[in-house]
Structure 1
Amino acid sequence: MTLSEKELQHFKHPIAVPGIGVDMQDKLKQARVLVVGAGGLGSPVLQYLSASGVGVIGIADYGVINDEDMHRQPIYQMQDIRKHKAKMAASRLWAVNPFTKHYPMLVQVKPANVALLLPGFDLVIDCSQHHPTHLVVNDACLKHNVPFVIGEVHNWLSWFGGFNMPLPDGTRTATYRCALPLTEEYRNFDAGALGITHGATGMHIVCEVLKYLIEVPGGLAGKLYGMDYLHNHTQVHELTADKAIIASAIANGILTAEEYGLEIVPDVED
């Protein structure tokens, strides 16, 4: 066990939950999760990963905090406006849970650096809500054999899924590329964004991620969750791994930014 006496006190209530205990809390401390995007979806994901005691959290985001986004990014405060999201997220998270190591990475996830970001992480959660970035994460995680989660929120609709996750028979679950026809059904590009649907989806993601990290059977592996918050309807879709799509993605490796349709932004000058 690596939990200190202070940590045992800090996490005494989750430890008391049946099936958690000290061993599972310690397993969370050993986990290493990279979160791509610290905005509307990344904000609640980061808050609850950290508060739950995940040991190391990487935060990859090159953007700054804007006033018009505060309604769906409650991790930040008004005095944080125009500051870098990754840095301020790390600061705010530490203020709630100093036992987790929060590493801000002021970078755009792109073909040139994604392979440098993945080593050491057990899981990637892509909260960028950006299709080209999803494809970069997908192909890099396939190449480096890292499981990953992707989610998006569109007004009242949202979805998230667990991809490239190990199965008991030694195979891996479907990839994001395998699920593209299904994810399109949940995309709604009408104007506007609701804070509450981002928060609800983020917490749903973390609940499933925590179960995955402590090895609760079922859950994320090979599933895509679709939510319609307006009509209070949730569907759980079983994903099928498309061997041809996976083989092609592995053979092609990480493509160029142009092939992904990814616009490259200048590196952050801190």
Structure 2
Amino acid sequence: MALTEKELQRFHLPISVPGMGVAMQEKLRETRLLVVGAGGLGCPVIQYLSASGIGVIAIADYGVISDEDMPRQPLYQMQDLRKHKAKMASSRLWASNPFTKHYPLLVQVKPENIAQLIAEIDLVIDCSQHGPTHLVINDACLVHNKPFVTGEVHNWVSWWGGFNMPQADGAVSASYRCSAALAEEYRNFDGGAMGVTHGATGLLMVNEILKYLAAVPDGLVNKFYSMDYLHNKFEVHTLSPDPAVIAQTKADGILTAADYGLEIVPDVED
């Protein structure tokens, strides 16, 4: 379906970027994303994905907004305290971009629901910053042939990458399980979290996601990025898929919450 006159007017500047154009903007509008987590990393990701003209963004988050969230989640306002993040994110995003459909999902992503959540989705973006959730999503994406992007921010250092991404020649790309040891090297669980490092990482992730959707080569496929904001040190690692790990993951399928070490929270009473 062609862009409307209002959409052409709204997006005329990104359309004018060399290599983008009307056809690419229409492709973005046809794209359906699931973003898991609407917190420090999820907020900038969903804000800029929505602003770019993505057609559908489902936002899965069962948490509520607290005072300590505000420095790194500026999407929310003080009157949003103690309200559900997914709901308020959808409301705020619709207010700035009614052309994108924002669907709040007040659920915990877990083995019992992950297949349904990703069934109609083109790309999963995991902003949960939670190891067990990464594994649940990775395994489901492998089983159901879905690409996904994830990352984390630890104080001044962050990492992100694309996993299970289709390659032009049909070859299998690295999964998150293939790269878990590398991700562990960038984890630092000291207390504290800075808003600016979450925001900057979210924007870098969105930039790579848009490049991926625009079929720009050498972006997310088999790449793992890290940024040390304190020392301005940016690194790019090339990932190698482990065929044995990928085959075993597919054979095992989606495991149980206990296998993942995932603590199940009570369902949200809306």
TM-score (norm 2): 0.99
Partner of 1:216: 216
Partner of 1:167: 167
- Secondary structure, aligned partner of 1:59: strand
Partner of 1:239: 239
Deviations 1:24-79 (A, max 9, x none): 11111111110000000000000000000011101000000111111111111111
Deviations 1:128-176 (A, max 9, x none): 0000000000000001000000100000010001000011111221000
- The list of structure 1 runs, each at least 4 consecutive aligned residues, that deviate by more than 2 angstroms after superposition, is none
1:30 matched to 2:30: yes
Q: Distance in 2 between matches of 1:18 and 1:143?
A: 36
Pairing 1:153-164 to 2, within 5 Å after superposition: 153-164=153-164
Deviations 1:191-249 (A, max 9, x none): 10000000000000000000111111120111000110000011010000001111111
| Letter aligned with residue 98 of structure 1 | P
Partner of 1:188: 188
- Secondary structure, aligned partner of 2:181: helix
Q: Quick one: percent identity of the two aligned structures? A: 71
Q: Distance in 1 between matches of 2:152 and 2:24?
A: 29
- Secondary structure, aligned partner of 2:178: helix
Instruction: Give, in angstroms, the shift of residue 2 of structure 1.
Output: 2.4
Q: Distance in 1 between matches of 2:132 and 2:66?
A: 23
Partner of 1:255: 255
Partner of 2:264: 264
Partner of 2:43: 43
Q: Distance in 2 between matches of 1:177 and 1:207?
A: 24
Partner of 1:72: 72
Q: Distance in 2 between matches of 1:225 and 1:162?
A: 9
Q: Distance in 2 between matches of 1:93 and 1:257?
A: 32
Pairing 1:89-100 to 2, within 5 Å after superposition: 89-100=89-100
RMSD: 0.7
Partner of 1:54: 54
Q: Distance in 2 between matches of 1:121 and 1:3?
A: 21
| Paired residues, number | 270
* Structure 1: gaps spanning 5 or more residues: none
Q: Distance in 2 between matches of 1:89 and 1:33?
A: 15
Q: Distance in 2 between matches of 1:67 and 1:172?
A: 43
Q: Distance in 1 between matches of 2:122 and 2:2?
A: 18
Q: Distance in 2 between matches of 1:217 and 1:96?
A: 31
Partner of 1:3: 3
